[in-house]
Structure 1
Amino acid sequence: MGRTLKEIAALVGGELSGDPETMVTGVAGLKEAGEGDISFLANRRYAPLLETTRACAVIVPLTVEAGKKPAIRVSDPSLAFAKVAGIFHPVVIRHPKGIHKTAVVARTAKIGKDVGLGPYVVVEEGAVIGDRTVIQAGSFIGHDTHIGADCIFYANVSVRERVTIGNKVFIQSGSVIGSEGFGYTRVDGVYKLIPQTGTVVIEDEVEIGANVAIDRARFDKTLIGRGTKIDNLVQIAHNVVIGENSVIVAQVGISGSTHIGNNVTIAGQVGLVGHIEVGDGAILAAQSGIMRDVPPNTMVFGYPAQPHHQAMKMYAAFERLPDMVKAVNELKRKVEELEERLKQRG
């Protein structure tokens, strides 16, 4: 079922230009769009595609002109497009209702109202699960762990003992919360595990991707602050503290006892050594190696990481290095020739 451009503009609260009765029947990217599709532009590098796209209309930033193409201008095109996509391709997820007959729930566990436990979920002694929380098949909740209300854990999530998880926490499949911290001491040439007696605290509205490992602290707690979003395949070591509303992208590794502030962005494949501090609002660019403290509101890049503008100059110089070597060798040859002539004159 189609929607008019006028209806879509009202849905996303955008400024409409072009025929308001333009009929939209689907959504697609600028390259893939066909007749009847609405598309969007979030990154200005793709602006030339506005001239060639077959989309019947586009959603663009407030400052972008779409030419003759019908358009809706909004402050956040990605968010607006997501709302529109939800109309034409609604996501239907079926969560378990009630406690499945194969679930194993300890006698002393406390289960809230309208909780859903899927097949083969295990809830151990003393665990508490808040109202309306859903835990999918094959997941494990350790003893004395407290989970808040309105959480969703997908299949095969493991939450170890004595962990505390807040409300509206979302965990994708395969993640492990409260695993043993990686702490060893060498005794007579053999590594011995140092007991990790602490815990993990995950505050409200945190989202954790697939196959994330968050280690319990050696003492005290590993902490993930309210509203922080963690992508797939991230390793967070013991006693790490992450502030509120930070974003951690795939394949990041954070070593033990590192403290990360609020509103920090850590891009893909960044590695951080232990016992350092990353200030509020910092941005760590992809594949950077962070070996020392990062001040607040600073963007760093490289291995080892440098202030972004400085790193860009260094990498620009690296690109010119072959030509510079060639020039130095040519100068060296000329100097040698001059020295030889001087010797002959002497």
Structure 2
Amino acid sequence: MEFTLGQIAAILQGKVEGDENQKVTRLDKIQEGKQGGISFLANEKYTPFIYDTEATAVIVSSDFIPTKSLKTNLIRVEDAYSGFTKLLEAYAMLMKSSLVGVEEPSFIDSSSQIGEQAYRGAFSYIGKNCKIGTSVKLHSHAHIGDRVQIGDNTIIHAGAKICADTVIGNNCEIHPGAVIGSDGFGFAPQEDGTYKAIPQIGNVILEDNVSVGANSTIDCATMGSTVIKRGAKIDNLVQIAHNVIIGENTVIASQAGISGSTVIGNNCIIAGKAGIVGHLKIADNTTVGANTGISKSVSKPGTTLFGYMGIDMKNFLKSYSIFKNLEAIEDRIRELEKKQ
């Protein structure tokens, strides 16, 4: 990456204070800035660093007023954090779009189709009758099973496994080691105490703009589809069981688990290590706290649940205020009993 400050200001719709012809080649933290780097100042805790940084330029908000002389150039934008985020997005897009072509060895079955501007990394595999869109990036050791469909601009990172019949939309990102479409956990108990596997003949559908974190797993449906709706974001090490539906723009943090046939609404937040049992319905805009267990459906939108059994947050906090003082309460009860 090499851009002049003037070019970056144009991307960010900002204004250069200094030499707009100077060039930058990388992104730096403001406290570690060196010549040729560009940083940003959005948190006032880091203000002292702007006077000493050696970065070629710093992105600042339009209302920033220096109290000492500066050695760096400024790019003023409406909001520094948003501006730097936009620059990161442009940089990431540039890096991704630069990957085009085929590394060998890699394999694609003759019955499958892949669009233009695609990238196939070494040891990637594409099975039979797949339909893969334009500008799709398949990194090394990515596995695409039979009859998979992948939309435009989707990225499958190294070692991710996309099992047969999975459908993935546009602008999705599947991080390393994720497994999409493996068999759901379906076993029928037998009279002799053993379990017999139930065939899982459904699939997984990921709609547009879905992100799936590293080493997360999404099981195929027993019948029908497990569905991750548009804009949902799934962190690393998350387990989503068969026939689950995850609503639009819902986010699920690391080590959470969603049991089979549960339906999660839109714009929900599921925090780390939360567990949700099967066959429930969780209303839109529900927040589930870290380590929370949900054992019954949530019907009221906007509910916040916290605690091992997932009770209403206000009730949990009231109960916890008593629980943490139990020892003192017990001592008071004993003293009262002695006085009787």
Sort the TM-score into its range (normalised by shorter chain): 0.7 to 0.9
Counterpart residue number, 1:170 = 173
Of 243, 246, 263, the residue aligned with 1:242 is 246
**Identity over aligned pairs, percent:** 34
Per-residue CA distance 1:188-231 (angstroms, 9 max, x = gap): 21111111111100001111110110000001000000111111
Answering whether residue 272 of structure 2 is matched by residue 268 of structure 1, we say yes
Unmatched runs of 5 consecutive residues or more in structure 2: 52-57
3-state DSSP class of the match of 1:182?
Answer: coil
3-state DSSP class of the match of 1:300?
Answer: strand
1:7–1:314 CA distance, 2 compared to 1 (3 A): farther
Could you tell me how far apart the structure 1 residues matched to 2:140 and 2:205 are?
23
Could you tell me how far apart the structure 2 residues matched to 1:132 and 1:91 are?
12
1:88–1:144 CA distance, 2 compared to 1 (3 A): closer
Per-residue CA distance 1:83-107 (angstroms, 9 max, x = gap): 4667999984586422333111112
- Residue 138 of structure 1 aligns to which amino acid in structure 2? H
What RMSD over aligned residues (CA atoms) do the two structures have, in Å?
Answer: 3.6
Could you tell me how far apart the structure 1 residues matched to 2:49 and 2:265 are?
44
Of 326, 329, 332, the residue aligned with 1:327 is 332
Per-residue CA distance 1:267-326 (angstroms, 9 max, x = gap): 111111111111111111222111111221111111111222222222222222222122
Of structures 1 and 2, the larger Rg is shown by: 1
**Would you say how many aligned residue pairs link Structure 1 and Structure 2?**
319
Counterpart residue number, 1:228 = 232
User: 1:243·1:260 contact (CA, 8 Å) conserved in 2?
Assistant: yes
Per-residue CA distance 1:217-255 (angstroms, 9 max, x = gap): 001000000111111111000000011111111111100
Counterpart residue number, 1:123 = 126
User: 1:131·1:150 contact (CA, 8 Å) conserved in 2?
Assistant: yes
Could you tell me how far apart the structure 2 residues matched to 1:196 and 1:246 are?
26
- Residue 115 of structure 1 aligns to which amino acid in structure 2? A
TM-aligned CA deviation for residue 161 of structure 1: 0.6
TM-aligned CA deviation for residue 73 of structure 1: 8.9
Counterpart residue number, 1:284 = 288
Counterpart residue number, 2:55 = none
1:84–1:135 CA distance, 2 compared to 1 (3 A): closer
Of 211, 216, 229, the residue aligned with 1:212 is 216
TM-aligned CA deviation for residue 130 of structure 1: 1.0
1:181–1:2 CA distance, 2 compared to 1 (3 A): closer
Deviates more, 1:288-297 or 1:308-317: 308-317
3-state DSSP class of the match of 1:107?
Answer: coil
3-state DSSP class of the match of 2:205?
Answer: strand
Could you tell me how far apart the structure 2 residues matched to 1:100 and 1:9 are?
36
User: 1:214·1:235 contact (CA, 8 Å) conserved in 2?
Assistant: yes
- Residue 297 of structure 1 aligns to which amino acid in structure 2? G
Could you tell me how far apart the structure 2 residues matched to 1:34 and 1:142 are?
45
Could you tell me how far apart the structure 2 residues matched to 1:127 and 1:179 are?
17
Could you tell me how far apart the structure 2 residues matched to 1:214 and 1:74 are?
40
3-state DSSP class of the match of 2:102?
Answer: coil
* TM-score of the superposed pair, with normalisation by structure 1: 0.78
Unmatched runs of 5 consecutive residues or more in structure 1: 42-46, 336-346
